[in-house]
Amino acid sequence: MDRHEAQEILACYRRELDDAADPRFAEAFELARQDPALGRWLEDQTALDAALREQFRRIPVPANLRDTILARHPVNRRATARSTAWWRQPWLHAAVAGLAALAVVAGIWLANRPVAFDAYRREMAGLVSGEYEIDLKTNHFDEIRDFLATRGWPSDYALTPAIQGLEAEGVSVLHWRGRKVSLICLEAGEDEDLFLFVVDRSVFRDAPGLESPQFVTVGRMTTAAWSAGDKVYFLAGHADEQSLRRYL
């Protein structure tokens, strides 16, 4: 690899998304370490990329765009889940089985590729913001843990004392991009459901820190995410941040 090839490769590198250990990037980075001119170019390039990225992020979005989109499709706020009963049709079971097989193959490929936590946050919050179903309905945390352990899903999690004080409603086992995610459903009060997702920390290249939880609002859901041990915990509910903090 010469300097020009290394520049072409490094020009495509994004610290937040790309894996520096990828052999293609690693070789170019090694060259940049050995070549002071290339190293300086990389520093300048990184600074300019950061500035350009910031400007793309700042492209102003019309204040009324969100409401305009939602106003055009009021019935679709939940309609996608209600519109079809495809899962009741027997011929689709075979298709689902086929998709599941594909998901296994894709999962093996994806399992080696760390992903961004923000995508997980948005998709998990989206998942429980609408309609959902659980695999096992039980009020007993021990049964939930046994259910997950016997199926090979993350079960060696540590619940906070406040969460242990809540009433469990049940558990689901999820696949997300080839990873196993445990979903523990909790009841925090009358019609106040909370959802705790547990997944291995190694899934993410930018897992939440160990020090303090990250609070982010996704649509109408308030979410908190934190790491402990080798697990990432993601709590979502319709409560506000202050209420959610009580369970951490």
Partner 1 sequence: MAKRLGTSRAPTPHISDVASVASSMDFEVLVDAYYRPLYQFAMSLTRCEAEASDMTQQTFAIWAAKGHQLRDPSKVKTWLFTTLHREFLSARRKQHRHRHEELDEESEDLAVIEQATEQRLDAASVLGALARLGEAYHAPIALFYLNEHSYQEIAEILEIPVGTVQSRISRGKVQLQRILMERDSPAVAANREHRG
- Secondary structure (DSSP) of 28-91: HHHHHHH-HHHHHHHHHHHHHHHHHHHHHHT----TTHHHHHHHH-TTHHHHHHHS--GGG-HH
Least CB distance to partner 1 at residue 165 (A): 20
Judged by beta carbon, residue 65 or residue 211, the one nearer partner 1 is 65
Q: Which is nearer to partner 1, 146 or 228 (CB)?
A: 146
Q: Which is nearer to partner 1, 92 or 158 (CB)?
A: 92
Least separation in angstroms between residue 40's CB and partner 1 is 9
**Considering the complex, what minimum distance in angstroms separates the CB of residue 99 from partner 1?**
5
In angstroms, give the least distance from the CB of 56 to partner 1: 4
Please state, in angstroms and rounded to a whole number, the distance separating the CA atoms of residues 10 and 33: 12
Question: Do β-strands 192-200 and 179-189 pair in parallel, antiparallel, or remain unpaired?
Answer: antiparallel
Q: Which phi and psi angles does 191 have, rounded to 5°?
A: 55, 25
The two tokens of residue 87 are: 């899962």
Distance of CA 77 to the CA centre of its chain: 22
List all residues 6 or more positions away from 165 whose beta carbon is below 8 Å from its beta carbon: none
Residue among 4 and 21 whose Cβ is closer to partner 1: 4
> Based on CB atoms, which residue is closest to partner 1, 122 or 201?
122
CB neighbours of 161 closer than 8 A, spacing ≥ 6?
Answer: none
- Smallest distance, Å, CB 82 to partner 1? 7
